Every structure is written in C-alpha cells, then in structure tokens.
Structure 1
Amino acid sequence: MRRDRIGPAVTAALPLLSGALWAGFPPPDDGRPGYARQVVGEALGSTAALLFAAALVLATRARWLEGLFGGLDRVYRAHRRAGQCGFALLAGHVAAVPWTGSSPGGTPSGLLAGAGFLVLVLLCAIPTLRYGAWRRSHRLVGVFFVVSLAHALLVDSLVDTAPGPFLLQWAAYGAGIAAYAYTLLVARFVRPRRSYLVRAVRRLDPATVEVVLAPRLRRRLSFRPGQFVFVTLHQRGLREPHPFTVSSAPSEDVLRLTIRSAGRFTSRVHGELEPGRRATVEGGYGMLDHTRGRSRQVWVAGGIGITPFLSWLRSGPGDRSVDLFHAVSRPEDALFRDEIEGHAGEHLRVHHVVTSASGRLTAERIAAVVGPLDGVDVFLCGPEPMTASLAAGFRRLGVPATAIHRELATFR
C-alpha cells in the first residue's frame, strides 16, 4: 500500500474495528432490562468516541500526518468526515441506549456532551457563519469530548465487562485528550513559524491582491514550491490564521501570496491590509510537488489556482516536458499571463483558456492538444468542482489515479 493511502485506510478501519470487537467479544448478559438495546447503544457511543478522538488527532496539524494522507488538505478532509460520522453515531447512541436516570452524574454529563456536539454541528451548517466564530467554537470539540469521558466514567456501562471494546474505548479517550492538550498547549511552540512584515500590498484587480512579506530578523520560513502556509496578519479585523498558497520561489528574499477575494476575510485583506503590519507565517504544508512526477506532465490551473504553478515556474526551469493550461472566465482574469508566457520554451508550452468564449475546459480538450496521455502525470489546482471533473475525465481517458495530483482547497 502506498504510504499516502495508510491514513485514509486506518481512519476508515476504526469503526470497523470497533464493530468487530463488539460483535466478537460482547459483554455478558447481566440480566438487566433492555440488555440488547444497551449493547447496541454502547457500541454506537464508544465508536462515536473513537471517531471524535481520531478527529482530534487529525486536527493537531502534526507534520507526520501529511505523509500518511498525501497532504494536509486530505488530513482535514478526513478530520471533517470523522467528526460527521462520529456525530451520526452519537445520535444513534442517544436513540438506542435506555435512559433510566439512575446515574445522577452520568445522565447530565451525557446530555451536556450530546447537546454540545449538536450545537457545533448546527453552527457548521450556517453558511453565513464567519470563519473566526467557527474556528473559536470548533475548539470546544475537545471540551465536549472530555465531558463525554465524564459521562462514560459515571454511568453503569456494560463495556466495562467486555475487554476488547473496553481497551479500545479508553485508548481512544487517551489519544483524543492527549491530542486536544497538544493542540491547546504545545502546538504553538513546535509548529514551524516565522515572523514577517508586510512590505507591499499590490492590488492587481478589484478582487485580487498580492501581499509581499519580508522576514524579520532575516529568518525565512522553509517551504517547497507549491506549498501553502497559514498566515496571521496583525491588523485589527485580520488576526485570524488563514491558509494561502505561496506564489514565490523558496530562494526569494520575500514571501509572496496571491489572494483572491472569496469571502469576508479575503475581501478585507484586499481592501484594508496596510504595509508595515506584522504577520506570523506557519508552514509550509501540502504535497503538491511536480518534482515527484514523471518527465511528461500536464498542469491545469483554474483562476487563482495558478499560484502553486507560479511558485514552480519562479523556482527555475526544469527538464520535464510540461503543458500548462490556465483557465479563466474572462481575458482580464489572466493576471500573470505575460510572466507565464515568459517562461514558455522548449520544455514548457502554455495554453490560456477563456471559458466564457470557448466553453468549459475538459480532459478531452486537453488530450486533443497534448496528444496521447500514456506516461503523463497530471497536476490540478483550482475550484474543487473543476478539478474533480477533470480528474474523473482523465481517469476515463486511461490516466491512472496515482498519476493525477490535485490540491483540495475546500478545507480552507
């Protein structure tokens, strides 16, 4: 198995492992009323705790996780799915387990944990919720996880008499609480971060801005071309850490971020950010790396998705044969057209696509330009509907999934 498939496989296997332990090593029947419902309810509850623990571990942003999932974007996708499945199982636990009210501390703590998780789920469903409010509320996942631990300790549980499920449940609580403590107390001191100053704010068009950051104390952040960073701008209204792909080369003295307005925060960056402000930059993250691909490559960018490819181009010419497609809605959206075409040559062919004039860019259209796709590695960056559609199209044309590389931007 490829290393970047281990993480998703392990995450998917966790509920199966829990179910197998409950089915293979059930607790003995102690004669209580509703024994079968109790077993089903506890199995659902302990599996929910296992998935919440996995979500807390994945939220640590630990560097070793990236290799197991194929990038931090995929780590956060697994984090989201684990949380969603955990809540679904928690709802099943609440519905299945007999509520007797016989545990003075266990019942209220269970209700509090369940209500807390429900509120967090409902908040995530609000489309207009500001990122900062979502981020602050999301920190409470660990609090409600600890409350659920109190619930598990205080109720009269059958799991205590089932060694397999018992060990797995308490291992989950230990890992989840350790991960939450790490994120809350330790991560800020060990994550790679540097202090920068905003040297320039260049508004390229009414919706796009290039932010140029200069390192303080001459300590530059280490990153690979194509990676993204989390940036905290120390200006009122802009202090929330947000991820942005770096568009400069690692060898440059400055860090360049090309940001397109896509919401309240990025719009404020475009309209309000001032030179001279401090910035804290953490990273780099992501595993979109063309140097790991074969000698013949296709790069496809949608709109502002050109940023990792800019970093690759600015890092110097390579010996790979590349066809770069940049799809934009209008001609004026191709902001770096002259620079990109300046890199064109023997090894790089540039194709600009204006979708309002020529229609949607498809894998079939690309294949018609570049020829047979045997031995080609494809790199995609842009809106997820576009990259997902292109990835599916390339697979239909015979490009193996292992040769299609795309960055998932929806977690940002």
Structure 2
Amino acid sequence: MAVETQVFHRRPYRGSHTVTRVVGPASIAALVTAFAVLWLLARPRGDGGPFVGQLIGAEGVLLMSMGLVLISTLRWVEQFFDGIDKAAVWHRRVAIAGTILIGVHIATTGNRHPTHLGPTLGTIGIVGLATLTVWAIAPRWRSLTPRRLRQPVERLMETPAVQLVGRWVGGYGLWRGFHRLTGIFLAFGFVHGVMDSTVFGSQLLRWSYLVAGGVGIAFYLYRELLARHFAHTHDYEVSSVEPIDDASFEIWLRPLGERFAFRPGQFALVNLEARDGWHRHPFTIASGSQEKEVRITVRALGDFTSSIGELVEPGMPAVISSPQGHFDYTRGTERQVWVAGGIGVSPMLSWLRSAAPDGLPHRVDFFYTARGPAPLADEVAHLADHHDELRLHLIDTAASPRLTAEHILETAGTEPRELSAFLCGPEQMVSTLQRELVRAGVKPANVHREYYNLR
C-alpha cells in the first residue's frame, strides 16, 4: 500500500545543508597506530618476545581507556562522534577489541620474576572484562552465529536451562549495574602492567602507558563520582500510558517545572518510576518540539519495557536528562528518503509534528515498513497530508516483499549521489539498507541512522 501526495511545489528548504564529518573513528585508528609506532621507536634492546606481548597488552589498555572516554557523557564526546548513540557503538567495539588484546597478552606473555600481587590483579581484570564482553554481545547472538549453525543454536537457546539463565542475567538493570565496574576491572589490569612490565626501563614507554591507562581511569571516576552533579535534568510525571498494539506503548509525560527542550529526532535518558522501582532507559522522543508534553513510544523488547503497561500508570514521577543524538533531517540534501521500521517511526513523527509548512526539503520519499498493520500508521498519514513535499509509502511485509535499496532509489527517481537517507528501525534492516544504499552510489556521509539499541 502506498499513500502519496500528488502535488509538488519547489519551495526553498531552510535546512543547514551540511554534513558533519565524523572524525571520531579515524582518531581512534590514529591513536592506536601512533601508540604502536611510539613503542616500536622506543623499544629497549633485548628479547623481542616479551616486548611484543607487552605492546599488545598496552594497546588493549589504550583501547579500554578510549571506551571509558566514549561513555563519559561529556558533550564534546557526543559532538566528536556525531551523537552519543554512535559513541556508545564505538565504546562497545573498542572495549571488545581491547579485551581480546589483553587476553592475547596474558596468554602469550610471561614474566620470570612477577610480583606477588601483579598476576592476581591481571587475572581479576581479564575475567571481569571478558565477562562484560560476552554479556554485552549475548543479545546479538543471532547476527554473530554463522548461518549453518543458526538452527541448532536456536534450539539450544530455547531449552529450559538456557531460558532460565537468560531470565536471570538478561535484565538490563543487572547488566547496567555490572557494566559500571568496567573501570575497576581496567584498573586491576592497568596496575598489573605497572607492577610486572619488563620494558619500563624506558621512561618514554612507562609514561606513555601511564597516560594511556590513567586517562581512561580518570574519565571513569568522573562519570561515576561527578557527572551526576553536572547533569541538567527536568522533573515530569506520567499523564497517560496507552497501548499502540500488542507489543508497543505510548507514554505522555507532563512537566512539573521547567519544560524539556530538544531538537526533533533526538532521544533522552528517562528515569521512570514504576511499581517495582526506578528504571533508566534511552527513549526516542516522538512529540513535536513545540508541544508542552513529551511523548515517548516504547517497544516491548526488554525486561522492563515488556511489562511497561502493567508497571507504569498516570501520576508516577519521571526525570528526563539532557537530549542526545544528531538524527536530524535538516543536515541532509534537498532530495531525501526516510525509512522507518515499526516503532522506529518515532523520530520521523517528531520531525513531522515540528516542521512548519514548506519546512521540509524539496522532496522526501518516506518509506514506512512493518509486518502487518504499522503502528501509528493513521497518524503518520494524517501528518504527511500536511506536507506537499512528502510522499508516504506504507509497506506491509506480510503481503509485499521487504524493502530494498533498489526499490528506494527507483521510487525516489534521482541520482544516488544527490540523495540523503535517514534510517531508523530494527538493527538488521537498517544495517542491510545502509550497505545496499552505499553500494548503489549514495555517499556514506549522506546515510544517517539512529542506534537506539545502545547496549
């Protein structure tokens, strides 16, 4: 099914027409390379075996420290990585890589004269970091499992024993609490390196290692001890909780004091009190920026969100932190496509609710896909009718083929390099479309997505 507005008028688009160059990932690669070059140039004379192993361990500490910087919640980190959601993705990547390198270091490097405490600290550090790594990637086991093994692994995951373990360790609150120990485990490994390294006859190597690990630990202490004192929060209360469908809810929050200001398309960390206590989750904002109340849409995916209709009711308090994210259509070109999957339509709802007449780019093709009736499809269609620049395409994958980049580009009818794409929805769908669009000629910098699964 497709719903289209047929009249197009060429109106000036007042967007920024800028594309932020994301320098964060390149900086990570540059720092890792520069650190290795520094160590090679300052390499002490002697057996190369211990040196290589200790360089690998030091690189692991450097990557883990970068990971702690990325989740420090500092505003400049968000700007540097084009959004806190992308910083969180890179935090996960460098933490996994750092843990692997530290594990390789422990497995391949020995010290003939270790200190009494050093090896114990190193063991505690790597066990803790490895546990966190496995715990963080466990929810993504389907995407990590080879296709040939997926069916037997799925049968294993459905066994009562695995289901029981999953219910116990799968809670977001438990994982988040344990995740806060990352800096402690890094500190154990860092102190082990200071105590047992055999290459620190070189002051340059010693100080480079102390800086690499010390910066990460300092950022960790800032986040755990000081960040809450600088956070700008707003007091709200729940005004309504309404089901959207069998697996989604809509929550409206009314301000109790200063109104929460945000840009359309952003998300915020919401501390929400429920019958079983307080819960802290990132939620994309679906309301317009000019509306007094804040509206969030919730998909029943986790332990808390799956029971939100039973746990949350009007009158319960909520605290909203400063808005995050750079998912903003005004950063795109005059020709755009928006793609939403299921409840991933939330930021587009905020865009449409906030945009003034004639405020969208020259033409937008909005693809809204879901299996079965799309959540809030009637409201999306109603809002789309107010913008002559926009064509809405509703796609029911239960009756039609899944959306592809080829279909998107054919419908848009423009050169790929002139197009900007904004994608939000299930991770597998968004990642697939992102790859397909880039392969088809859309500039990588013009493909924008929101990573709303921060874990």
Q: Which has the higher contact order (CA 8 A, sep 6+)?
A: 2
Aligned residues: 403
Counterpart of 1:352? 394
Does the 8 Å CA contact 1:195/1:280 hold for their aligned counterparts? yes
Q: Give the Cα separation in 2 of the matches to 1:373 and 1:272.
A: 49
Q: Deviations over 1:20-72 (max 9, x none)?
A: 1222210233xxxxx33221221111111111111111111211112221211
Q: TM-score, normalised by structure 2?
A: 0.84
Give the aligned partner of residue 110 of structure 2. 98
Which residue number corresponds to residue 199 of structure 2? 159
Amino acid at match of 2:308: V
Q: What is the rounded CA distance, in whole Å, between the counterparts of 1:391 and 1:370 in structure 2?
A: 16
Residue of structure 2 in register with 1:10 after alignment: 27
Match of 2:61 among 31, 44, 49: 49
Answer yes or no: is 1:297 the counterpart of 2:340. no
**Structure 1 residues 342 and 194: CA distance shift in structure 2, 3 A:** closer
- In 2, the alpha carbon distance for the partners of 1:62 and 1:11 equals 17
Alignment counterpart, residue 182 of structure 1, candidates 222, 227, 230? 222
Aligned to 1:389: 432
Judged with a 3 Å threshold, the aligned counterparts in structure 2 of structure 1 residues 175 and 319 are, in CA distance, closer, same or farther, namely same
Cα distance 1:260–1:119, how it changes in 2: closer, same or farther (>3 A)? closer
2:175 matches 1:134: yes
Aligned partner of 1:70 among 66, 69, 82? 82
Partners of 1:338 and 1:195 in 2: CA distance: 28
Q: Deviation of residue 125 (structure 1)?
A: 5.0
Residue 15 of structure 2 is matched in structure 1 by none
1:60 is aligned, of 44, 54, 72, to 72
Where does the alignment leave 5 or more consecutive residues of structure 2 unmatched?
1-18, 140-165
Q: Is 2:403 the partner of 1:364?
A: no
Contact 1:197 1:215 in 2 (8 A): yes
What are the residue-to-residue correspondences of 1:100-115 with 2, within 5 Å? 100=112, 102-115=114-127
Higher alpha-carbon deviation: 192-201 or 307-316:
192-201
Kindly indicate whether the alpha-carbon contact (under 8 Å) linking 2:282 and 2:452 is maintained by their aligned counterparts in 1: no
Aligned partners of 2:244 and 2:376 also within 8 Å: yes
Structural mapping, 1:8-407, within 5 Å: 8-29=25-46, 35-100=47-112, 102-127=114-139, 128=166, 129-155=170-196, 157-217=197-257, 219-237=258-276, 239-317=278-356, 318-320=359-361, 321-331=363-373, 333-344=374-385, 345-374=387-416, 375-407=418-450
TM-score, normalisation: structure 1 = 0.92
Task: Report the CA distance between 1:120 and its aligned residue.
Answer: 2.5
Distance of aligned partners of 1:125 and 1:382 in 2 relative to their CA distance in 1, 3 Å threshold? closer
Instruction: Read off the aligned partner of 1:132 and give its amino acid letter.
Output: G
Distance 2:193 2:138 in 1: 31
Query: In structure 1, how many angstroms separate the alpha carbons of the residues matched to 2:69 and 2:364?
Result: 38
Q: Give me the CA root mean square deviation.
A: 1.9
Deviation at 1:101, TM superposition (A): 5.4
Check the 8 A contact 1:211/1:257 in 2, yes or no.
Answer: yes
CA change 1:173–1:226 in 2 (3 A) is same
Counterpart residue identity of residue 218, structure 2: A
Shift of the 339–16 alpha-carbon distance from structure 1 to 2, 3 Å rule, reads closer
Alpha-carbon distance in structure 1 between the residues aligned to 2:92 and 2:185: 17
Task: Give me the whole-angstrom Cα distance separating, in 2, the residues matched to 1:84 and 1:75.
Answer: 14
Which region of structure 1 is more displaced relative to structure 2, 121-130 or 67-76? 121-130
Equivalent position SS for 1:379: strand
Please give the alpha-carbon distance, in whole angstroms, between the structure 1 residues aligned to 2:194 and 2:434.
47
Which deviates more, 95-104 or 270-279? 95-104
Tell me the CA shift for residue 205 of structure 1. 1.9
Q: Distance in 1 between matches of 2:129 and 2:379?
A: 50
Partner of 1:32: none
Partners of 1:118 and 1:99 in 2: CA distance: 22
CA deviation string 1:51-97 (max 9, x = no partner) = 11111111112111122212112101110111111111111111222
1:267–1:237 CA distance, 2 compared to 1 (3 A): same
Task: Determine the C-alpha separation between the residues in 2 that align with 1:167 and 1:377.
Answer: 45
Residues 163-194 of structure 1 deviation map (CA, whole Å, 9 limit, x = unaligned)? 44322211112211210111101111212321
Q: Identify unmatched segments of 5+ residues in structure 1.
A: 30-34
1:220-254 CA-to-partner distances (Å, cap 9, x unmatched) read: 22211000111111224352311110000121100
- Contact 1:55 / 1:82 at 8 angstroms: preserved in 2? yes
> In the superposition, relative to structure 1, how do residues 319 and 58 fare at CA in structure 2: closer, same or farther (>3 Å)?
closer
Partner-residue secondary structure (3-state), 1:285: coil
User: Contact 2:364–2:391 (CA<8 Å) still a contact in 1?
Assistant: yes
Taking the aligned partners of 1:38 and 1:148, their CA distance within structure 2 comes to 17
- The residue aligned with 2:150 is none
Contact 2:271 2:279 in 1 (8 A): yes
Shift of residue 329 of structure 1? 0.7
- The residue type paired with residue 50 of structure 2 is Q
Deviation at 1:264, TM superposition (A): 1.8
